[in-house]
């Protein structure tokens, strides 16, 4: 029973989802799946092809005809390696340019359908921590534990800015603030699987807390949920 446990972690950009999800997966010996990386990989392809962002049927066709693979790689910085049509794009998908466009692609329902099917397949065996925007609402609506991770907008911008600078991108604070708020706005306003906290998700606020404290809190929630599952309540 416990090996099939599935943890869904959703929240806005820079809330700490991937960092925390990876560590939780590591502690439990679970698989970590970064669903955002799949949207980022397709966005990279659309940018490279110079496809038209208004043409939703073309975007959907690109999604259907591309091969996006997520390979668990716990020893690497992001925990997953990303391949697009056989080419490794793990680093490339983290660029600020991809970040600026990804929410446009993610708003296309037919694109989401393609990726959601693959994401469900990745979680089919359980023992998984998956992070994104619609994990608890659409991909795994019956996940054993759902977390909604948050932090104040300033804190999220600060984290994303520091991360991009550390990766060598010459971005200003204002660039990052604009991108993060625009992406949050698009992710929450879209009609296809918008980002929202599910009523059965536990909200975990991370502002001013270090990663270990947040990970420990989630592990305690897992223990509690497992105990209540095994007593059948």
Residues that bind ligand CDP (CB under 6 A): 11, 13-20, 35-37, 39-40, 102-103, 106, 132-135, 159, 163, 183, 187, 206, 209-211, 214
d(CA 186, CA 211): 27
Residues 225 and 27 sit within 8 Å (Cβ to Cβ): no
Cβ closer to ligand CDP: 28 or 80? Answer: 80
Q: How far is the CB of 125 from ligand CDP (least distance, A)?
A: 19
Q: Is 152 annotated as a binding residue?
A: no
Q: Is 193 annotated as a binding residue?
A: no
Q: How far is the CB of 150 from ligand CDP (least distance, A)?
A: 10
Q: Nearest 5°: phi and psi at 18?
A: -70, -40
Cβ closer to ligand CDP: 1 or 63? Answer: 63
Q: How far is the CB of 232 from ligand CDP (least distance, A)?
A: 31
In the 8-state DSSP scheme, what is residue 136?
A: I
d(CA 78, CA 209): 21
Q: Is 13 annotated as a binding residue?
A: yes
Q: How far is the CB of 230 from ligand CDP (least distance, A)?
A: 29
Q: How far is the CB of 192 from ligand CDP (least distance, A)?
A: 8
Q: Is 18 annotated as a binding residue?
A: yes
The set of residues, in sequence order, having a beta carbon less than 8 Å from that of 101 and lying 6+ positions away, is: 43, 46, 47, 53
Q: Is 45 annotated as a binding residue?
A: no
Please identify the residue of the shown chain whose CB is closest to the bound ligand CDP: 36
Q: Is 11 annotated as a binding residue?
A: yes
Cβ closer to ligand CDP: 3 or 212? Answer: 212
Cβ closer to ligand CDP: 135 or 201? Answer: 135
Cα–Cα distances in Å, from 83 out to 41, 69, 88, 120, 149? 8, 5, 4, 18, 27
Tell me the DSSP string of 145-210: EEEEEE--HHHHHHHHHHHHHHTT----HHHHHHHHHHHHHHHHH-SSS-----TTSEEEE-TT--
What are the binding residues? 11-19
What are the binding residues for ATP? 11-19
């Amino acid at each position: 029973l416990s090996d099939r446990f599935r943890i869904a972690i959703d929240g806005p950009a820079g809330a700490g989802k991937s960092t925390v999800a990876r560590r939780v997966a590591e502690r439990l010996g679970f698989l970590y799946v970064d669903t955002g990386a799949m949207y980022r990989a397709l966005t990279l392809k659309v940018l490279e092809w110079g496809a038209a962002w208004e043409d939703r049927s073309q975007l959907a066709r690109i999604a259907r005809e591309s091969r996006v693979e997520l390979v668990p790689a716990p020893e690497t910085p992001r925990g997953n390696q990303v391949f697009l049509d056989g080419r490794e794009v793990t680093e490339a998908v983290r660029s600020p340019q991809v970040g600026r466009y990804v929410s446009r692609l993610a708003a296309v329902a037919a694109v989401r359908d393609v990726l959601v099917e693959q994401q469900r397949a990745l979680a089919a065996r359980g023992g998984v921590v998956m992070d994104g925007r619609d994990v608890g609402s659409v991909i795994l609506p019956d996940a054993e534990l759902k977390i909604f991770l948050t932090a104040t907008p300033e804190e999220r911008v600060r984290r994303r800015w520091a991360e991009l600078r550390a990766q060598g991108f010459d971005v200003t604070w204002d660039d990052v603030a604009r991108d993060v708020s625009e992406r949050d706005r698009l992710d929450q306003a879209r009609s296809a699987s918008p980002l929202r906290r599910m009523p059965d998700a536990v909200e975990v606020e991370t502002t001013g807390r270090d990663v270990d404290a947040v990970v420990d809190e989630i592990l305690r929630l897992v223990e509690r949920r497992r105990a209540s599952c095994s007593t059948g309540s």
